[in-house]
Each structure stands twice: as C-alpha cells, then as structure tokens.
Amino acid sequence: MRTETVPSIKETVVKLNQALCKKCGICAVFCKKEVLVQKQDQKIYIENAENCVGCRQCVNLCPDYAISLEVVE
Ligand code: SF4
Ligand code: SF4
C-alpha cells in the first residue's frame, strides 16, 4: 500500500516594520485572512494574527520589505 505524508502546517508569526511601511495598503488588500488591516489613519495593523496561514503573499508583495514572517518550529 502506498502511503504519503503531508507536511504539517507550521505556526507563523507575521511582523511589520512600521518604519519601512509607506502605507500603500497592498498587503491588506491581498491578505485574505484579514490579518493585516489598514485603518483610517492609513497605518497597517496586525489583527487576528492567529488566522495567518503563512501564504507569504504579504511578504512577497510589499514593495518596501516591511513585512517578515517567522516560522515557529
Ligand atoms: S505593502 Fe508594505 S509598504 Fe505597503 S502598506 Fe503593506 S507593509 Fe506597508
Ligand atoms: S502570510 Fe498570508 S495570511 Fe499571513 S498575514 Fe501574510 S498574507 Fe495574511
């Protein structure tokens, strides 16, 4: 019988460097889990952090490298 292992989903922690962020809002638009939210002051806030699935959309799309993703081992 053939068996396959599926990699487990690791816990990830998203971090935002406000000093680098120019508040373009791209990360908030593309984060489908609503972890990154742009509020009226245009700043990005991390909310619902536990909903992050580690897709890295935010990291890859941020033009200013303001977001990083830590994988919790
Ligand atoms: S994509 Fe980057 S620069 Fe733009 S709002 Fe998000 S963190 Fe800030
Ligand atoms: S890694 Fe994906 S789910 Fe997590 S904050 Fe970034 S875009 Fe949202």
Is 64 within a domain?
Answer: yes
Cα–Cα distance between 6 and 4 in angstroms, integer? 7
pLDDT single digits (tens) 11-52: 889 999 999 999 999 999 999 999 999 999 999 999 989 999
- Tell me the two tokens of residue 52: 């992050």
pLDDT of residue 63: 98
Pocket test for ligand 2, best of 26, 55, 69 (most atoms within 8 A of CB): 55
pLDDT of residue 34: 96
CATH assignment at residue 15: 3.30.70.20
**Rounded to two decimals, what is the model's pTM?**
0.87
Residue 46 CA, closest ligand 2 atom number: 5
Regarding the beta carbon of 31 and ligand 1, being less than 6 Å apart is answered no
- Tell me the two tokens of residue 42: 């245009």
Q: Give the closest ligand to the alpha carbon of residue 62.
A: 1
pLDDT of residue 56: 95
> For the chain, what is the domain count?
1
DSSP helix/strand/coil, 22 = coil
- Tell me the two tokens of residue 73: 């081992």
Is 26 within a domain?
Answer: yes
Asked whether 48 and 36 are in contact (CB, 8 A), the reply is no
User: What is the CB-side half-sphere exposure of residue 13 using CA atoms within 13 A?
Assistant: 5
Distance 54 CA to ligand 2 centre (A): 5
